[in-house]
Amino acid sequence: ANMASAFNSPPTSSCSAAGGRCSAIDEVSEEEELRLALIASQPQVGEAEGIDSIAAEYADNEQFRECAVSLGSKLGYTGVRRMRPDGSCFYRGWLWALLRHMSQGKVRTPPREVHPILGPSEPSASGSSAGGAAAASGVGSRAASAPSPRAPAAAAAAAAAAPAMPPPGSAAAGCETSSSSPSAVALPSTLPLATSAQAVYERLVGLHAGAVPRLAAAGLEPLVVEDFAAAFGEMLMTLPGSDPDVATALLSADMDSMYLLVMVRYLASAGVAEAAHALAPLLAAEAVSEGGGGGGGGHGSGSGSAGSISAYRRGRVEGTSAEADHVAIACLSAVTGVPVAVVSLSASGSPGVTVFPAGASAESAPVHLLLRPGHYDVLTRE
């Protein structure tokens, strides 16, 4: 069924079958169940589509249609990959784009003396494809009862102000709307920027090598983190010699992708903790404006600005349905040193482009994401 029409039509209600003796709460619950079921029915990563499919969504809105057309005519994008709109679309799109970039670039396993922790054995050029498939299936072999992400506090309330751009029929279903412009936070990376496929691969391998102690230092529980870090390491081992389609394969199974996306969220959360001094005034102000009062718990923090950081990390970054906002994107980009270009449609006729981390260029970014209210898809030039 078409996502837009399904979301705009009323659900079939068991209340009707019961002669209408049903509370408004029951009806809302059924509507929410239907909405979540429709989201879950969407592929985690969609098939490749031509860039003109974006403009087709705005056939009745000339200003935004013109802007969508310029994605190809002015910015040179040729295609789009749609991400499931379940709140993890940014993290899924970020990781898919990097996996695709690395596999297309034919990355090589780094020497052990450079990155000593990659796993018990290194895949060879001739055997890496078979080994990679085994490793990929190993991630999915984890039981569904494996340790889950530490239960986050309730997600912070969504921003009260609605985005200026109206979403197309199905663009933002299931995603939280970011609270402010993606250009609102500019954090430089302390690392040299990694843009080539091999540089990105070695950067992620290096991050994985020190991930558990780094995340523990940021206040995350090591016993929980280890499982997700192990899945991330197995993912990295699949890449040398792999086919570009490995990106979609790794992110298409619910259990496999859950482990990987949680690990990416943890890296972003650590970035927030490491940039706490710079972010505290902004997050404290947001907490007050949303009625949170700046309090919070967890991560070993108390009250005030530290509590705002803690509450933000739990509710807006680590929560598995919490959509990434400008702070999370800036922190993930700063932690990894991997540039991300975020392209936004507007009524001006020209897309806006924001690049993270501060100082990076759109031309060098290996990740290009299309932002519409509360939702991200991947832009490609293939």
| CATH number, residue 372 | 1.20.1300.20
Instruction: Examine residue 45 and state whether it is found in any structural domain, yes or no.
Output: no
Instruction: Examine residue 25 and state whether it is found in any structural domain, yes or no.
Output: no
The predicted pLDDT at position 28 comes to: 62
Instruction: Examine residue 326 and state whether it is found in any structural domain, yes or no.
Output: yes
Is the model's pLDDT at 315 over the cut of 70? yes
Radius of gyration of the chain measured on its C-alpha atoms: 21
The structure tokens listed for 97 are: 């784009």
Residue 35 phi/psi, 5-degree rounding, is -60, -45
Domain assignment of residue 300, given as a range: 53-159+168-380
DSSP 313: I
Distance, CA of 175 to CA of 163 (rounded, Å): 13
The predicted pLDDT at position 303 comes to: 43
pLDDT range class, residue 19, cuts 50, 70, 90:
low
The predicted pLDDT at position 349 comes to: 78
Distance, CA of 28 to CA of 23 (rounded, Å): 9
Instruction: Examine residue 5 and state whether it is found in any structural domain, yes or no.
Output: no
Distance, CA of 337 to CA of 203 (rounded, Å): 8
Instruction: Examine residue 29 and state whether it is found in any structural domain, yes or no.
Output: no
The predicted pLDDT at position 105 comes to: 97
pTM: 0.75
Is the model's pLDDT at 305 over the cut of 50? yes
The predicted model gives 74-95 an average pLDDT of 97
Instruction: Examine residue 201 and state whether it is found in any structural domain, yes or no.
Output: yes
The predicted pLDDT at position 39 comes to: 82
Euclidean distance between the first and the last CA atom of the chain, given in angstroms as a whole number: 29
- 110-124, 249-263, 309-323, 357-371: least confident range: 110-124
The structure tokens listed for 303 are: 């009250």
Number of domains in the chain: 1
- 199-213, 293-307, 339-353: least confident range: 293-307
Distance, CA of 317 to CA of 299 (rounded, Å): 13
Is the model's pLDDT at 58 over the cut of 70? yes
Is the model's pLDDT at 274 over the cut of 80? yes
- 142-156, 249-263, 305-319: least confident range: 142-156
Contact (Cβ atoms closer than 8 angstroms) between residue 118 and residue 236: yes
Contact (Cβ atoms closer than 8 angstroms) between residue 353 and residue 341: yes
Residue 352 phi/psi, 5-degree rounding, is -90, 140
Collapsing DSSP to helix, strand or coil, 174 comes out as coil
Instruction: Examine residue 287 and state whether it is found in any structural domain, yes or no.
Output: yes
Mean pLDDT of the chain: 77
The predicted pLDDT at position 2 comes to: 41
Q: What is the largest CA-CA distance in the chain?
A: 72
- 7-11, 150-154, 368-372, 377-381: least confident range: 150-154
Angle between helices 326-336 and 89-104 (to 10 degrees): 30
Order the strands of the 49-50 sheet from edge to edge.
49-50, 79-81, 375-380, 367-372, 340-344, 352-356
Instruction: Examine residue 23 and state whether it is found in any structural domain, yes or no.
Output: no
The predicted model gives 57-65 an average pLDDT of 93
The predicted model gives 236-258 an average pLDDT of 93
Distance, CA of 261 to CA of 323 (rounded, Å): 12
pLDDT in tens, 127-186: 333 333 333 333 333 433 333 333 333 223 222 222 333 333 333 333 333 333 455 477
